[in-house]
Amino acid sequence: MIEAKNLTKRFGSITALDDITATIRDREVFGLIGTNGAGKSTFLRCAAGIYRPDGGSIAIDGQEVFENQQVKRRFFFISDEQFFLSNATPMEMGRFYQAYYGGFDQERFRKLLSEFGLEESRKINTFSKGMKKQLSVLLGICAGTDYIFCDETFDGLDPVMRQAVKSLFAQEMEERGLTPVIASHNLRELEDICDHVGLLHRGGILLSRDLDELKLGVHKVQCVFRQTEAPDALAALDVVSRDVRGRLNTMIIKGDEGEIRAVMNSVDPVFYELIPLSLEEIFITETEVAGYDIKKLILGE
């Protein structure tokens, strides 16, 4: 388990991380969302022991990471800025990491290179950005670590490769308990993979919640009422937003599903249905209640 307690990091007069407290549980995908400059990369670099915290701490199973070589062997960090040895080939990078990660699986690495269509003896400096990202992921997977830290890993990958990488993470989680920590500025990229999501803004965490918990407490209801106006009984529900197009009402409602269904049945609509919310809709609901506009923070709208 990774625990950050009152984690603070400054660069001169700039506070990149401001008193962050967060817990990343084992065998779950933790998604770290935020715009450029929100502190995502700084958080991962503190978690990887690259930066020394200016305040607070970050530890893995109670052991602080900075200048702790034993702990650092338990994770693999994929930076947004790709780095490889000069003129190296994929197999040479595999041997390089094997010298540090004793459990590096060379046989599987060679197999994955073939499956992903990456030539093992080709110079990496001739690879495209997407190919370099794929190579970094394969090196991280084959290192056999407990954790893998990914900074904008899906940026530069085409949709097919994104799904391939997500499937690879899911397989590793099931087979050996890998814990991926993925930072991204794109909420939609993490929609189908995360168990827990933290929203960073200006160095602080606005929201950190389990997705299952979020989904249980927020519901989207589409319905057509028999009358033009919404029934008075809806006042008993916590309706966060209501959009009316013609006679079709789309409402975001917070609360217990059973209570929502009971009220909807009592007003006898022409029809109604509860439909799943997207991660984007959930976050919009949660952050608007706190006074923030996630469309501006994350989606750039």
Measured CA to CA, the distance from residue 247 to residue 245 in angstroms comes to 6
Does 87 fall in a domain? yes
Measured CA to CA, the distance from residue 289 to residue 198 in angstroms comes to 16
Domain count, the chain: 2
Are 64 and 184 within one domain?
Answer: yes
Are 58 and 189 within one domain?
Answer: yes
Tens of pLDDT along 58-81? 999 999 999 999 999 999 999 988
152: nearest Cα among 184, 190, 193, 186: 184
| Token pair in block for residue 30 | 């933790």
Are 262 and 219 within one domain?
Answer: yes
Does 108 fall in a domain? yes
What Rg, from alpha-carbon coordinates, does the chain have? Answer: 23
Q: Of the candidates 154, 175, 202, which is a domain's last residue? A: 202
What pLDDT is attached to residue 277? 80
Does 207 fall in a domain? no
Indicate the SS3 state at residue 1: coil
Tens of pLDDT along 1-57? 999 999 999 999 999 999 999 999 999 999 998 777 889 999 999 999 999 999 999
Are 188 and 40 within one domain?
Answer: yes
The structure's pTM equals 0.80
Query: CA of 209: how far to CAs of 24, 46, 99, 141, in Å?
Result: 11, 21, 38, 26
Q: Report the share of the chain in percent with pLDDT over 90.
A: 63
Measured CA to CA, the distance from residue 44 to residue 226 in angstroms comes to 53
Are 227 and 113 within one domain?
Answer: no
Measured CA to CA, the distance from residue 139 to residue 98 in angstroms comes to 10
Q: Which residues contact 104 (CB under 8 A, 6 or more apart)?
A: 94, 97, 98, 142, 143, 144
Tens of pLDDT along 79-113? 988 889 999 999 999 999 999 999 999 999 999 99
Tens of pLDDT along 235-266? 999 998 889 999 999 999 988 889 999 999 99
Tens of pLDDT along 159-204? 899 899 999 999 999 999 999 999 987 777 777 788 898 888 778 8
Q: Of the candidates 140, 169, 202, which is a domain's last residue? A: 202
Are 198 and 228 within one domain?
Answer: no
Domain holding 241, by residue range, is 213-299
Are 235 and 278 within one domain?
Answer: yes
Are 75 and 161 within one domain?
Answer: yes
CATH number at residue 98: 3.40.50.300
Does 80 fall in a domain? yes
Are 116 and 8 within one domain?
Answer: yes
CATH number at residue 264: 3.30.70
Are 176 and 235 within one domain?
Answer: no
Q: Of the candidates 138, 172, 202, which is a domain's last residue? A: 202
Are 102 and 131 within one domain?
Answer: yes
Are 198 and 264 within one domain?
Answer: no
φ/ψ of residue 76, rounded to 5: -125, 130
Does 57 fall in a domain? yes
